[in-house]
Structure 1
Amino acid sequence: MRHHPPALMLFAAGFGTRMKHLTAHQPKPLIKVAGRALIDHALDLARGVRADPIVANLHYLPELLEQHLNGTSVLTIREEPEILETGGGLRNALPQLGTGPVTTLNSDAIWAGPNPLRLLLDAWDPAAMDALLVCVPLERVHGRTGRGDFDIDAAGRLHRGGDSVYAGAQIMKTDLLKTVPDKAFSLNVVWNMMADQQRMFGLTYPGHWCDVGHPGGIAEAEAMLERGDV
């Protein structure tokens, strides 16, 4: 278990192109689910583990998110002129996040069940792990079709393929980010290096999860919350 409070990176820079007209005049994290902005649902999870600092990267219509977050403790970083993707964005935020392991959370999903960040912190073993990702079995995934992302073996290590979906919450060491030559890159680049060293692990989420990356995901997330899926 890592010492509290955890540093947290909140990914909020995407264009939200799959949301079509809903992101014509607002960034995706401001889309409302059950009457509240997606980013506020994510911040509930961060505050539930007393994350500090909380850093959000911004790119598309950043002034609207800055206005929404004004008065909170969230630190914001604009990625300009180009978006840096997840790996580049996290590396760009390290001066604010510090040198220790960092939790990261996507801002376009809704969770029904225990706080995934708390589960991560309770299961984190830095002696054995370089990254620990929350994954959800396909039968408890909503708003998303297709195959899974990973398989979790008997030792808890992750392998590509399988019936578990990465749910956008993790804790990871950040040293390898500095070894990537590209300015903009996906976290997959670093995960692959960790997996090659047998140090990328997965945690199976016991509740339900909904991807709100497209318009239909809003209704699915609201229905999941109304049912009280756990």
Structure 2
Amino acid sequence: MRQTPDAVMIFAAGLGTRMGALTANRPKPLIHVAGKPLIDHALELADTARVSRKVVNLHYLPEQLAAHLAPRPDVAISDEFAQILETGGGLRAALPLLGDGPVFTLNSDAVWTGRNPLDELRKAWEPAQMDALLLLLPASHAIGHSGHGDFLLDVSGRITRAKGAPGAVYLGAQIIRTEGLADIPAQVFSLNLLWDQMIAEGRAYGIVHQGGWCDVGRPEGIAQAEAMLRAADG
């Protein structure tokens, strides 16, 4: 079994309800930021990081996304047309396409500057001690995000839940081992269940992204992301 990831799961099945009218007739991953759809921003990261296997899950208005991805024979589609499975159930359903060993996961509703997040994760991955490695930013640096943050990071790099304390925001990019998914009885569930197990065992880690990040989950996130990209280019 591989100990370093060479497959990425790109989450693109969400309903995009926070986008309001913008997602009434199209899925959120097809919303344009800086001239191209969000899904293409995510795929560009995977291409640049030379990730061999790319899997995208589809649920809301899947025909539109499937048509957009059709010219990409290197991208496999994980079918959640009938039922959305959340992050944990969606990742488990895609395992036959992703293969064995740890995998990258990447949310499709964010834009990045600075170092390629998948390259950052790959460089920091230590398979002997890690079951998950999450990419983080201090909440004050996470554009488009509100709240205190998700995790605390100790001096060794291990993460714990922030539980309301000022912490770091999970940016939707990680490396994770998938073996524990088989032990979760629910069909529809969040990866938080698996993270909590890994945190309890001291095998969940985080690193801080060297660059910018913007959540494009709400309409105002489009302009914020484009401003961030312009500033980085300048």
TM-score, with structure 2 as normaliser: 0.95
Aligned 1:160-175 pairs, distance under 5 A: 160-161=161-162, 162-175=166-179
Contact 1:140 1:207 in 2 (8 A): no
| Off by >3 Å, runs of 4+ in structure 1 | 2-5
Structure-1 separation of matches of 2:125 and 2:37: 29
How far has the Cα of 1:75 moved from its partner?
A: 0.4
Partner of 1:217: 221
Contact 2:60 2:81 in 1 (8 A): no
What is the aligned counterpart of 1:200 among 204, 207, 230?
Answer: 204
Contact 1:16 1:28 in 2 (8 A): yes
Aligned 1:11-160 pairs, distance under 5 A: 11-72=11-72, 73-160=74-161
Structure-2 separation of matches of 1:193 and 1:165: 19
Structure-1 separation of matches of 2:90 and 2:233: 33
How far has the Cα of 1:80 moved from its partner?
A: 3.5
Residues 80 and 69 (structure 1 numbering): CA distance in 2 closer, same or farther, change over 3 Å? closer
Structure-2 separation of matches of 1:205 and 1:137: 9
User: Identity of aligned pairs, percent?
Assistant: 55
Structure-2 separation of matches of 1:229 and 1:106: 23
The runs of 5 or more residues in structure 2 that have no matched partner are: none
The runs of 5 or more residues in structure 1 that have no matched partner are: none
TM-score, with structure 1 as normaliser: 0.96
Secondary structure of 1:228's aligned partner:
helix
How far has the Cα of 1:4 moved from its partner?
A: 6.8
Structure-2 separation of matches of 1:212 and 1:228: 17
Residues 4 and 128 (structure 1 numbering): CA distance in 2 closer, same or farther, change over 3 Å? closer
How many residues are paired up?
229
Contact 1:207 1:229 in 2 (8 A): no
Do structure 1's residue 187 and structure 2's residue 167 form an aligned pair?
A: no
Partner of 1:226: 230
Q: What CA RMSD, in Å, does the superposition of the two structures yield over aligned residues?
A: 1.4
